[in-house]
Amino acid sequence: MKLYYHPLSPFARKVFIVAEQLGVKLETQMVDLLAGGGQTPDFLRLNPQGKVPTLVDGDFSLWESNAIVQYLAEKAPASSLLPNDARSRADILRWQFWESSSWAPACMVFVYERLLKPKMGQGEIDPGKLKRGEEKFRPLAKMLDDHLSTHAWLVGDGLTLADLSVAPILMYAEAAAYPMEGYPHLAGWFGKIQQLPAWLATAQPPA
Ligand SMILES: N[C@@H](CCC(=O)N[C@@H](CS)C(=O)NCC(=O)O)C(=O)O
């Protein structure tokens, strides 16, 4: 299986973390998004949205990081990352849908304004956007923090795909100054994730 990725993408990092945790080896292909690599006809045939991560397994091409990590976990030998009961699986999907519809878009406001905009020369930081970003981010962080005040992990008693889907966007929490103060349980949970060998092993993406 080959993963098309960009080294700065938190969604690609998610796939690398899960693959590492499952012991799945991936071939890799860097897509130079900043140089238009996502818009070439060859890449658009694999992913008509021109985005990474994109996984290719034989004649099957799959995009959306949460779908990709579900596929990797389904294909690997049984793993506690994806328990085999309907409630746990639905609960994991619930967190994954929440991550892609709410959590990641809220975090990406800070990533775009503070990291990507300057990197791509797209103008000044917009304080209004940061303010609205904070208004979006805080209730979501509070909800996560409340959940984690009574649960060690997002689903069940151990690490699952839910944790590994929700956490990667926090890789930019410090650099993009997400408003993280006031969420001690969220910080404690993220601290545990940052100690995982799979998190540490993926800090440097493939060259
Ligand atoms: N919801 C998607 C987000 C993927 C995404 O936005 N990828 C960015 C890189 S972090 C991308 O490829 N952007 C290129 C573009 O939008 O043209 C996922 O989880 O895979």
9 lines ligand 1 (CB under 6 A): yes
Class of the CATH-defined domain 2-75: alpha beta
Q: Among the atoms of ligand 1, which is closest to the Cα of residue 51?
A: 12
Quote the pLDDT of residue 120: 87
pLDDT at 148: 98
- Write the residue with the smallest CA distance to atom 19 of ligand 1: 65
pLDDT value of residue 90:
98
Start-to-end C-alpha separation, the chain: 17
The pair of three-digit structure tokens given for residue 98, joined into one six-digit string: 């929440």
Does residue 10 carry a pLDDT above 90? yes
**Predicted pLDDT of residue 174:** 97
pLDDT at 46: 98
What is residue 141's DSSP assignment? H
Between CA 165 and CA 172, with CA 166 as vertex, the angle to 5 degrees is 110
**What is d(CA 71, CA 137) in angstroms, rounded to the nearest whole number?**
29
Q: What is the pLDDT of residues 109-165, one digit of tens each?
A: 999 999 999 988 899 999 999 999 999 999 999 999 999 999 999 999 999 999 999
pLDDT band of residue 206 (cuts 50, 70, 90) is: confident
Q: Does 168 have pLDDT greater than 90?
A: yes
Listed in sequence order, the residues at least 6 apart from 178 whose beta carbon sits closer than 8 Å to its beta carbon are 107, 110, 137, 141, 170, 172
Task: Write out pLDDT tens, residues 72-87.
Answer: 999 998 899 999 999 9
- Mean pLDDT value of segment 88-113: 98
* Paired tokens of 108: 């990406």
Nearest CA to ligand 1 atom 16: 51
Ligand 1 center to 157 CA (angstroms): 31
Q: What are phi and psi of 61, to 5 degrees?
A: -115, 130
Res 44 pLDDT > 80: yes
Q: Which atom of ligand 1 is nearest to the CA of 10?
A: 10
Average pLDDT over residues 64-73: 98
Summarize the confidence of residues 49-72 as an average pLDDT: 98
Q: Ligand 1 within 6 A of 57 CB? A: no
Closest of 8, 101, 104, 117 to residue 52, by C-alpha? 8
Residue 49: its pLDDT value, please? 97
Domain 86-195 classification at class level:
mainly alpha
What is the percentage of the chain residues whose pLDDT exceeds 90? 95
Q: Where are the domains of the chain?
A: 2-75, 86-195
Q: Among 28-32, 118-122, 165-169, 188-192, name the one with the lowest average pLDDT.
A: 118-122
201 C-beta neighbours (distance < 10 Å), count? 12
Q: Is the shortest distance between the CB of 64 and ligand 1 below 6 Å?
A: yes
Radius of gyration of the chain (CA): 17
